[in-house]
Amino acid sequence: MRPEPASYRIARMSRDDLARTLDWAAAEGWNPGRHDLDAFHAADPGGYFMGWRGTQPVAAISAVRYGDGFGFVGLYIVVPECRGQGLGWALWQHAMASLGGRVAGLDGVVEQQANYRKSGFVLAHRNVRHAGRAQPLAQPVACVDLRTLDFDRVQAFDALHAPAPRTAFLRAWLAQPDSHSLGIVEDGELVASGTIRACREGHKIGPLHADSEAAADALFRALCARVPAGDAVYLDLPEPNAAARALAARHDLQPVFETARMYAGGALALPLQHIYGITSFELG
């Protein structure tokens, strides 16, 4: 691999740089949310890096830190005309160093698994994007708007399904325009929560967390009913969750893309049986 040229420099992204990176992600076909910028930036304002050749931005990566123990790597892009020149590798090394020894996760394209293994990442499982169409709600589902609940209560439920607390991110995620965040409460307890948000194309559901398959299915239907019938809907589910795969099949969602969830620096035992939709391939 060629060394990066002397004119190449790496710097933390500004907010405008992050907006540009999300446009790059859209051009790669990753279909980011229309309003992801605020939530992504809130997660860790210092966790985004851009590679510059002179005055031109040519590469990007995120290494978002969640507390002192965990980080997630994503948005790893080199502009097409600058690939194969060592720019991405230099940026990768810089981002990994910024995590300061934290356990690191990523959702990488499957064909890059071998390269990630060279950096110490180990495959945990596949995440599979499923696509379908929103259907009108045939039966009413008793849901609550998560934004009307005490935030600590919502955060506590989210923390059961995430590798580390993500307070700032979650506040911003729930506040996104063109999105709906709903929950199901049974016997006074929150048993399911999820968000559907407008993306460059259609809508994505994520996260979708539930104590049972019945609650997950009810919440999935309620979320889909919040967008126009027939709109494209995407759900990124962890493949080991058989109930999530069954949910996708029931609602005519077809697999269209997959990633390799990998970790370096330690293994994580997430409750995949209760995770029916991951939040984001970029931030975990």
Q: Are 266 and 124 in contact (CB under 8 A)?
A: no
Predicted local distance difference test score (pLDDT) of residue 267 = 82
Which token pair is 104?
Answer: 């690191």
pLDDT at 248 > cutoff 60: yes
Q: Are 109 and 259 in contact (CB under 8 A)?
A: yes
Ordered by where they begin, the domains of the chain are 8-123 (3.40.630.30), 129-277 (3.40.630.90)
pLDDT at 261 > cutoff 80: yes
Q: Does an H or E element contain 27, and which?
A: helix 15-27
**Residue 32 phi, psi (nearest 5):** -65, 165
Predicted local distance difference test score (pLDDT) of residue 277 = 98
Predicted local distance difference test score (pLDDT) of residue 137 = 78
Q: What is the pLDDT of residues 74-131, one digit of tens each?
A: 999 999 999 999 999 999 999 999 999 999 999 999 888 999 999 999 999 999 999 9
| Residues near 185 by beta carbon (within 8 Å), at least 6 away in sequence | 144, 191
CA 112 to each of CA 19, 107, 217, 260, 262: distance values in angstroms, whole numbers, following the listed order: 25, 10, 33, 9, 11
pLDDT at 5 > cutoff 70: no
Predicted local distance difference test score (pLDDT) of residue 141 = 82
* Three-state DSSP state, 227: coil
pLDDT at 3 > cutoff 60: no
Average pLDDT, the chain: 95
Q: Rounded CA gap, 227 and 43, in Å?
A: 26
pLDDT at 2 > cutoff 60: no
Query: What one-character DSSP code corresponds to residue 14?
Result: P
Q: Which candidate, 12, 10, 35, 32, places its Cα nearest to that of 22?
A: 32
CA 143 to each of CA 165, 218, 236, 237: distance values in angstroms, whole numbers, following the listed order: 24, 9, 22, 22
Q: What is the pLDDT of residues 211-225, one digit of tens each?
A: 999 999 999 999 999
Q: What is the CA radius of gyration of the chain?
A: 19
